[in-house]
Chains A and B, each alone.
Chain A
């Protein structure tokens, strides 16, 4: 069974770009469009291999979503990679403190994103 990656971004274009790369590589991709929908999707999905998450989104941003999820012991080991236009030291430090494992500033190179997913989540099956 393919590993599940949840992609959370308010831009459908970005979600589709990431999804196309990961699906082609053999991962199963589930999409969500903001922090609240992302948290609900993560909670409702069994065996999440990793999450790729934007920072600046409506309703709830990605770092707040991560902080919220990490309070729940079920998600203590959740692997999260932030994919965002933000690149300042402050948000990166906050994301690290909240438990993020990686950070990429958009736009992303396909091979780098895939390398990051393989390193953090392992092979697709």
Chain B
């Protein structure tokens, strides 16, 4: 992927995090830190979602302490295993919305991606390798008294610059607005 595309992509991801995560009751600090490597010892949920386009494919990974997901859950949480499953589901929905926002940002630049469906896993001492050259960004945000991470990887099958200048005609429908067809 060309450096200019990588920089644009990173900016799209940061904007998406700033927009989507507070909406999902994950009030992140505005400025992310660069993540060099990641080993979290506490119980974490890791949500993954993939995407593909004509000349681009990759994934968005969000790693969040279980307690942060619990605090952000928008409905009364059931007890026991049912409650755990609800947290898994909610974490997947958050990463799905994150990719939705990223997708809108890419579409404005002429790149139409197709998302997969999200998967979530629970673990302790989860470790992610941050690998060049596929890594677009690896961000750590402070959130409440804790922190979460968003890692985006992408590879391009083309040597060309993929991203065009933003085109207002390709702007997505605003969130929440009702459109009758």
Contact = CB atoms under 8 A, between A and B. Distances in A.
Interface of A: 10-14, 16-17, 20, 56-58, 84-90, 92, 95-96, 100-109, 112, 115-116, 119
Contact of B177 (A12, A104, A119): A104
B75 A16 contact: yes
B100 A106 contact: yes
B173 A87 contact: yes
A58 B115 CA distance: 11
Contacts of B80: none
Residue of A11, A17, A88 contacting most chain B CB atoms (<10 Å): A88
B174 interface: yes
Nearest to A104: B178
B112 A88 contact: yes
13 contacts: A13-B73, A13-B74, A86-B103, A87-B100, A87-B104, A88-B170, A88-B172, A101-B181, A102-B180, A105-B100, A105-B177, A107-B176, A119-B180
B179 interface: yes
B57 to A, nearest CB: 16
Given A13-B93, A58-B117, A92 B75 contact: no
B130 interface: no
A100 B179 CA distance: 11
Interface residues of B, number: 32
Contact of A85 (B74, B85, B96): B96
A101 B175 CA distance: 17
B175 A106 contact: yes
A13 B86 contact: yes
Interface in B69-104: 73-75, 85-86, 89-90, 92-93, 96-97, 99-101, 103-104
B23 interface: yes
Contacts of B96: 11, 56, 85
A13 B75 contact: yes
Contact of A107 (B97, B115, B117, B172): B97
B80 to A, nearest CB: 15
A12 B90 CA distance: 8
Contact of B103 (A11, A88, A96): A88
A116 B170 CA distance: 25
Interface string B88-130: 0110110011011101100100001001010000000000000
